[in-house]
Homo-oligomer: A and B are copies of this chain.
Amino acid sequence: MVGYIDNKEAILKRLRRAEGQVRGIQRMVEEDTYCIDVLTQVSAATKALETVALALLDDHLGHCVAQAAAEGGVVAEEKVREASEAIARLVRS
């Protein structure tokens, strides 16, 4: 079972919207839209993806990491390390 099982539809909805935003940006570029207006939409799409990432991370901590922590041992440590690395990738992206 994945951590986001209960939020799957909400996450898919957000991702579809982000996909639509990226397609919209392509149309803007094809139509020679002013650079700054294109950039504003790129920032919005980036923010939308970040929101998806934060939702996935919250679910992951609340389910996968929490469950591993309850069981303890090496697996628990491994899950925390893995989550920390994902957070680092997110902060640096």
Contacts and interface: CB of A to CB of B under 8 A. Distances in A.
In the assembly, how many copies of this chain are there?
Answer: 4
B2 A32 contact: yes
B19 A26 contact: yes
6 contacts: A8-B30, A42-B53, A50-B92, A50-B93, A65-B66, A69-B69
A69 B45 CA distance: 30
A62 B35 contact: no
Contact of A43 (B32, B61, B70, B89): B89
Contacts of A33: 2
Contacts of A35: 2-4, 56-57, 59-60, 64
Contacts of A5: 32
A86 B39 contact: yes
B8 A15 contact: no
A47 B1 CA distance: 28
